[in-house]
Amino acid sequence: MSVLSFNCRFVYPSGFTLNQEFEIGSGITALAGPSGSGKTTILHLIAGILRPLAGQIVVGDKTLFDSSLRINVPLNRRRVGLVFQDYQLFPHLTVAGNLRYGASRTVSPVTDLSALIATLELDSLLNRYPASLSGGQRQRVAIGRAIASNPLLLLMDEPISALDPALKAKVIEYLATTLKRFPIPTLVVTHDLNSVASVCTEIISLPS
Ligand SMILES: Nc1ncnc2c1ncn2[C@@H]1O[C@H](COP(=O)(O)OP(=O)(O)OP(=O)(O)O)[C@@H](O)[C@H]1O
């Protein structure tokens, strides 16, 4: 069964035109393709950061965007989680504060926040601030914050590309274990298919 159905047309003022149609199922799907092919743009369209010129975006049984039906669910009501390459944690909040923020963003947060903290091995970091954490630790917090909001779909934009090779493998392992415990369909944009292929259920490749 399709978890995400995406069929959109979008044009930047610079002239770049995106025309893409695809569906993904549950599990982890990699979105690959050459630099500039529109991967980040697709995530931003799904999240509601950008608005398509025309088309349709459906997650589960919820239509997020439909140009012919004039539906455009606002970003904060899409129940889509985002994880970025550069973590984007709140620097003034502790790890616990960042996780609580994730849980507070929704009416139906994960019911077992302590299991999420244990799965990502964040217990000993809860009172630390992001500035004192390593890149791998920061990304585990960012994954935890996104999952704490219990999204219908998790979007990740190059989540491991800022990490060194050994850390990449570790963060991917944490991600796979956490998504087994909290099964949220996930779309991961990556340049580095080799690192994520072992945990992906599907791969979508955009043409250049
Ligand atoms: N804000 C913007 N204004 C105008 N053009 C943009 C903007 N953001 C991206 N583009 C252009 O749109 C195209 C697609 O960009 P996008 O970032 O989606 O590609 P990508 O596949 O994610 O690339 P990369 O792998 O390098 O991150 C590129 O040609 C880019 O220059």
We report the CATH number of the domain holding residue 54 as 3.40.50.300
Give me ligand 1 centre to Cα 12, in Å: 9
Give me ligand 1 centre to Cα 11, in Å: 11
Span of 99-108, 125-134, 175-184 with lowest mean pLDDT: 99-108
- Supply the range of the domain harboring residue 53: 4-205
Cα angle 106, 79, 190 (rounded to 5 degrees) comes to 125
How is the beta sheet containing 62-66 ordered, strand by strand?
17-24, 4-11, 54-59, 62-66, 71-72
Q: Which protein residue has the closest C-alpha to ligand 1 atom 13?
A: 36
40 Cβ below 6 A of ligand 1:
yes
37 Cβ below 6 A of ligand 1:
yes
Q: What stretch of H or E contains 193?
A: helix 193-196
Extract the runs of DSSP E, i.e. beta strands, from 119-165. 153-157
Q: Which protein residue has the closest C-alpha to ligand 1 atom 12?
A: 16
Among positive and negative, which fits the CA dihedral 180, 181, 187, 192? negative
pLDDT digits (tens, 9 = 90+) for 6-36: 999 999 998 999 999 999 999 999 999 999 9
pLDDT of residue 51: 97
20 Cβ below 6 A of ligand 1:
no
Amino acid (1-letter code) at residue 196? V
pTM of the model: 0.93
pLDDT digits (tens, 9 = 90+) for 53-112: 999 999 999 999 999 999 999 998 999 999 988 889 999 999 999 999 988 877 777 878
pLDDT of residue 162: 84
The number of domains in the chain is 1
